[in-house]
Amino acid sequence: MSPDHSRSFVTAASDMTTPPDEHFDVIVVGAGPAGSAAALVAARAGLKVLLVERGEYPGAKNVSGACFYGSAVLNELIPNWWEKAPVERYVCRRDLVLMSETTAVSMDFRSAAAGYVEPPYNAFTILRPKFDRWFAAQAEAAGAFLLTSTVVDDVIKERGRVVGIKVRREHGEVRGDVVIACDGVNSWLAKKAGLQRDLHDHEVSLGVKEVLGLDEAVIRERFHLTGNEGVAYEYVGAVTQDVRGGAFLYTNKSSLSVGIIGQVSSLVEAKKRPYDILEHFKSHPAVAPLVRGGKLREYSAHLIPEAGWKMMPQLVAPGMLIAGDAAGFCLATGLYIEGINYAMQSGIAAAKAAIHACACRDFGKHTLARYTELLWPHNVFTDFRAFKHAPGFVNGNRLQNLYPDLVAHGTEMLFQVNGQAKQKILPLSFKVMRQYKVKSRHVLSDLYKVARAYLW
């Protein structure tokens, strides 16, 4: 009826008729820190990169504390990244706190050393929905093709080699030379490709986190911070009740990230609900004054791979690499709770291996094994091997619950003046140990384990 359709709405409609036979050099699944880093590096090398994300935008589904210890890693990719990225505060204070129900004993670290307060800084607190979106946009700007709201269901295998992915859409097959799986702790792809077994419930922890809005000035005053300084608190002890795990509190620009981490198997054993533990934690006398007046802005939960060295899947298959949380690259040793930096480093290493494979047009296991070789100089493997004994031991009941309680109680007795004769520290310690029915045999063996885990 309208006479003149032909000249109207000049569009790319003609493009739509071209066959969708697309081939990518690299397909990255998951636009978190590992995926975006891999896509960024590969795209910069001139490869044709597809980055697939299941959320409506990168970061929509991502949860983390989030304290990002690895500014220097990112600085190599994007110089002065903190000036462009949505960061919250740089961390120059850390507090390790041992807790009993009533008492907290902490080691407070604060530094104005250049490594902490000057570029490239040591660590930043970030909010992942903002940060991941920014980071994926960098990969997109470098030329990677970002596809959101798209779930990857399976890998396409041909003659034993991964040659692409199947997404949950019509005609959802995309082919690529190398598939890099960065799809998180419960990596569907790693399982589909037969590289990872089902995880045990003692290998993963559940993190539950709240973001509490608080005025910037109040945060500065309450945490003794000036300017954009930030603090990271990490807690162990009675705060998680019978559950093996810990808690954290990080300062953002105008909010706090507060959360607890509980080993899944012990949550099941103790029949405790993670959000109850979080509420319990927030009402602890040492924590309540810090979170007072905070208004709930966000609530999220996520699994954390915690077994480190011992739960790593096979990282390489013909045509496929695994990076980030999917590979179990999360270091939870008590001293460190890090993951974003390892995710990025493994993503970069995977991209380098893919670039190498694309250069020699060989995507077999042996060429791609360059990835695992690169993980050594990128200090991923070294760190995990060095602390390979830590996770099993950190997650022990005595260390998580008994000793913090013991130390807190001992300190209570040490400082209490009640007219009774003062005792020196050693007899006092034995007294407390007797009270808690701790066997010296156990203490000695735990001391040995601590030493093995952290000293040498």
Closest CB to another protein among 1 and 113? 1
- Interaction of residue 455 with another protein, rule CB under 8 A: no
- Do 333 and 387 form a contact (C-beta atoms < 8 A)? yes
By CB under 8 A, residue 83 contacts another protein: no
Residues touching another protein, count (CB under 8 A) = 39
* CB contact at 8 A, 326 and 183: yes
Q: Which of 74, 67, 66 is nearest to 92 (CA)?
A: 67
User: Do 44 and 139 form a contact (C-beta atoms < 8 A)?
Assistant: no
Nearest CA among 156, 139, 132, 148 for reference residue 68: 132
Q: How far is the CB of 308 from another protein (least distance, A)?
A: 33
What's the token pair of residue 220?
A: 């500065």
Does 159 bind another protein (CB under 8 A)? Our answer is no
Residues 6+ apart with CB under 8 A from 37: 77, 135, 139, 343, 344, 345, 347, 348, 351
> Which range, of 28-36, 37-45, 64-72, 143-151, touches another protein by CB under 8 A?
143-151
Stretch that binds another protein, among 5-13, 185-193, 199-207, 439-447 (CB under 8 A): 5-13
Residue of 95, 101, 154, 173 that binds another protein (CB under 8 A): 173
Instruction: State both tokens at 383.
Output: 């760190």
Q: How far is the CB of 297 from another protein (least distance, A)?
A: 7
Per CB under 8 A, which of residues 219..278 are in contact with another protein?
Answer: 254
DSSP-derived pairing of the beta strands 245-251 and 229-237 = antiparallel
Q: Which residues pair with 176 in a beta bridge?
A: 24
Q: In the complex with another protein, which residue's Cβ is closer, 57 or 436? A: 57
Give the range of 14-22, 347-355, 400-408, 418-426 binding another protein by CB under 8 A. 14-22
Q: Does 150 bind another protein (CB under 8 A)?
A: yes
Q: Which is nearer to another protein, 20 or 427 (CB)?
A: 20
Binding another protein by CB under 8 A: which of 44, 86, 443, 450? 86
User: Among the candidate windows 211-219, 237-245, 324-332, 336-344, which touches another protein by CB under 8 A?
Assistant: 211-219
Q: Report if residue 2 touches another protein, rule: CB under 8 A.
A: yes
Token reading at 283: 């009402």
**CA–CA dist 9, 107 (Å, integer):** 67
Q: Report the site for another protein in 377-396 (rule: CB under 8 A).
A: none
Vertex 298 angle, CA 322 and 188, to 5°:
20
Supply the minimum distance, in Å, between the C-beta of residue 21 and another protein: 9
Instruction: Provide CB contacts within 8 A for 251, sequence distance 6+.
Output: 88, 89, 125, 219, 223, 225, 230, 231, 232
- Single out the residue of 119, 213, 364, 392 in contact with another protein (rule: CB under 8 A): 213
Per CB under 8 A, the list member of 167, 320, 326, 394 interacting with another protein is: 167
Tokens standing for residue 409: 């109680």
State yes or no: residue 11 binds another protein (CB under 8 A).
Answer: yes
Specify whether the CB–CB gap between 51 and 28 falls below 8 A.
yes
**Structure token digits, residue 119:** 């570029």
Of the candidate spans 27-35, 74-82, 171-179, 234-242, the one that interacts with another protein by CB under 8 A turns out to be 171-179
Token output for 51:
């980055």
Which residues within the stretch 47-66 sit at the binding site for another protein (CB under 8 A)? Answer: 56-57
CA atoms within 13 A of residue 403's CA, in its CB half-sphere: 20
Residue found by looking up tokens 């007219």 in the block: 419
Which residue from 43, 64, 62, 45 is spatially nearest to 53, judged by alpha carbons?
62
- The nearest distance, CB 1 to another protein, in angstroms, is 5
Distance CA(245)–CA(239), nearest Å, equals 9
Binding to another protein, residues 280-309 (CB under 8 A): 295, 297
Q: Which is nearer to another protein, 10 or 426 (CB)?
A: 10
Give whichever of 143 and 396 is closer to another protein, judged by the CB atom.
Answer: 143
Figure out which of the listed residues 96, 106, 119, 145 binds another protein, where binding follows CB under 8 A.
145
Q: CA nearest 175: which of 191, 194, 161, 188?
A: 161
**Is residue 119 involved in binding another protein (CB under 8 A)?**
no
Q: d(Cα 91, Cα 75) in Å, to the nearest integer?
A: 16
Of the candidate residues 83, 112, 113, 170, the single one contacting another protein (CB under 8 A): 170
Q: Which of 136, 174, 180, 374 binds another protein (CB under 8 A)?
A: 174
- Residues forming the site for another protein (CB under 8 A): 1-5, 7-13, 15-16, 18-20, 22, 56-57, 86, 129-130, 145, 147, 150, 167, 169-174, 213-215, 254, 295, 297
